[in-house]
Every structure is written in C-alpha cells, then in structure tokens.
Amino acid sequence: MSERHLNGKVAIVTGAARGIGRATALRLAKDGALLVLNYVANESAARELQALIRAQGGEAVVVRADVSVLSDIPRLFDEANDQFGNIDILVNNAGVSGRGAVSNTSEETYDRLFALTKGVFFTLQTAAERVADGGRIISVSTGLTRNWAVGAAAYAGSKAAIEQFSRSLSKDLGARAVTVNVVLPGVIETDMTSVMSPQMKEHARSQTSFGRLGRPEDIADVVAFLASDDARWVTGQLIVANGGSTP
C-alpha cells in the first residue's frame, strides 16, 4: 500500500467505467482520494468499480453525465460538491474513437469527435471556477498528436485542441496554485484499441522501447503523480507516456 498522500482530496474522473479512467480511479483511491466516477453508458461497470473501491477501504460515488452535453457538466460538479463538499482534482479522460483517412471521414464522425472536444473545453471552464486552490486539472490526450499515423487526422486534431486549451488555462490558474497538465498516452491495451488488427498492434508494440503495448495502469501512475503535491511545480506541460514509441 502506497502512502495515502491524497487523503481527503476529492477527484472527478470522467470516463471512469473502463480502460485508463478505471485504472486512474483505482490508483487515486489507493492514494486516499474520494472518487466521483463519471460514466455515460456503462452503469454496471461504474457500479462494479465503485464496489471494488469500497471493498478496498475507499469511497466513491457514481454520476452519469455526458460532457458532450453542456448542460450535464455543471450537474457533474454539483453532485461532486453535494457528496463531498469540495473538488480538488479533475481528470478529463472521457473519449470516443473515430479513426479514418481524411478522404473518408464523415461529417458525423467529425462532429462526434469535436462535440467531445467542446465538452472538454467547458469542463475545463467549469473546473477553473470550481476546483479548490492548489488543485489539479489533468486531461488525457493521445500520442497521435506527436507520433502521427494514417487515419488519425480528425481524432488527433480533436485531442490537439485539448492540449492547447490546457496550456493556456495553466497560465490563468497559476495564481491559485492550480496545476493544469495533459498526458499523451501511446497505444494502450483498452476496449478502444481492441478493434486494431493484430498487424497494427504488432507494429505499435515494435515501436516501443520495451517491446510491449501500454497498460492502463502505466497511464494511471503518471496521472497520480500529476495529481500529487510532488507535481506542484509542473504545469502547462504535455507529458508523453508512450514507452519510447517512435513514429
């Protein structure tokens, strides 16, 4: 058991039901944080995660909210306040997939990706008002904004915008000692990458320094560092966590 250096801190994790969000929620709970587990569609997975956190001695509440629906965003923060009284950490992890070449990316796919990007912008805006002084705001982007790939234009573009939102916000919130950072994962073994062909996965694996794909816990540990007081001097940064992957 690690030192519980987040004891009493309240953390909202969006997209917490699976993948990186689930691993992040478990890690923050292990460190003593009180969790607000946000989900959109998979309530059973969110409830299972809540039960696991409680079984391990932590506390968590489950809140359904779709951050691409702007009216859901203040309600997510209101419920966190109602349950725990304050908000110290926001992890913007909600994501949707949408791979395709520029030539065959539909307007529907583009709008779905950028609706979430819009939602993240206004989630950041709300967090800027509601996160306590000395708090932490962490967003999850993608290594595809650095290691470009075929079929990733709209998806990577939607994430690149979040990186710039965050860098600018870090300047706005510095006077309150709130840090704002972004983690850029490489290819991680999650539901979102389960649709990749074996050939694509093998190529991604071969590009890392460790000869394996990332695991959700690899990213959760980076997020946990950024959420801690050890990262108090780290803000406005884009943290690449891709196992040394090269294009």
Q: Which residues form the catalytic set?
A: 155
- How many residues can be counted in the chain? 247
Distance between CA 98 and CA 96 in Å, rounded?
Answer: 7
Task: Round to whole Å and give the CA distance between 118 and 220.
Answer: 24
Phi then psi dihedrals of residue 36, to 5 deg: -110, 110
How far apart CA 13 and CA 50 sit, in angstroms, is 12
CA–CA gap between residue 189 and residue 92 (Å, rounded)? 19
Q: Say how far apart CA 209 and CA 180 lie, in whole Å.
A: 28
